[in-house]
Structure formats: structure tokens, C-alpha cells
Copies of this chain bind each other. A is one copy, B any other.
Amino acid sequence: MNVSGRTYPQLALDLQLCFPLYAATRAVTKRYVTLLKGTGLTYPQYLVMLVLWESDEPLSVTSLGQRLRLDSGTLTPLLKRLETAGLVRRDRDPGDERRVLVSLTEEGVAMEEQVSGVPQQLGASMGITRDEALALRDQLTELVDHLDTAESP
């Protein structure tokens, strides 16, 4: 149907930002399935590994969650799967038995080298320049910040 002929033209799928955003995330995730085949990692698991590789020390579930904006309901089972895969350890913090500290195993550390080419491969699939990617990244980061501070109506 022609958009201009609609009672509520603002509801047209093609005019909205939300749908391309949603579709882009799923397309990127799908691309990661291919790129991460061989590691056994899913995309969210890969993100957790990125955070752990960045850190000099073990991280609690909460700090992982703050970095990735994920809660324990998502992270706990995901971390158990990484533990089963032999990539991380989960140990109670002796100084505070409520906390679980997540640390990399040797195998987990070693995997960093294995995926070091992934960002570049993904960049190639996206068909945009590095500068465009960085600009897009900044716009999306700003969008997230705004949405986080706009909890009211």
C-alpha cells in the first residue's frame, strides 16, 4: 500500500529506524556464526570472552554484566556453558562468598589468537569503510545512552 494513502503513515515499516536496527543486529549475529565456527563460541559468548581478554584480572558476574548490559539470568547459564567448554573458571570470591569470579583458563587465553582476525573479516562483510563504521558506532552509542536515561513515558 502506498504510504501516503495510509491513515497512520508513521507506522510504515520502511520509514522506521527500529526495523533496520533489529534486522542489522540479526544479520551481524548470523555472520558471526560463520566467523566463529571452529571456536564453538556463540556471539554473546564471544562478547564475554572479549571482556575477559581485556581484563588483567578475574571479573565478577556483576561487572561482566555492567560491561555488556546483561543480567545474571543471561550470564549465569552462558558462563556455565563456557566453563563446560573449558574456557573459563568460576570460583567464589574467598573475600566475599556472594561473588563469583570468572577467569580465563589457559585454553581461554589461547583462543584470543584464534579469533584475532574476526573483526577485520566482519568489517569486510559489512561493505563500509573503517571511518563509516566508527561514525556509526558513535551514533549507536549515543542512542543507547539516550534510551538508558529515558525510562519515563
> 1/0 per position for A135-153, CB-CB distance to B under 8 A?
0110111111011101101
Contacts of A132 in B (CB 8 A): 139
Say whether chain A's binding surface is mostly helix, strand, loop, or mixed: helix
Identity of the chain B residue whose Cβ is nearest the Cβ of A116 in the assembled complex: B8
Copies per complex of this chain: 2
Whether A56 sits at the interface, judged by CB under 8 Å, is yes
Within 8 A of B (CB), among A31-55: 31-32, 34-35, 43, 47, 50-51, 53-55
List residues of A whose CB falls within 8 A of some B CB: 1, 6-8, 10-13, 15-32, 34-35, 43, 47, 50-51, 53-56, 67-69, 112-113, 115-116, 118-128, 132-134, 136-137, 139-144, 146-148, 150-151, 153
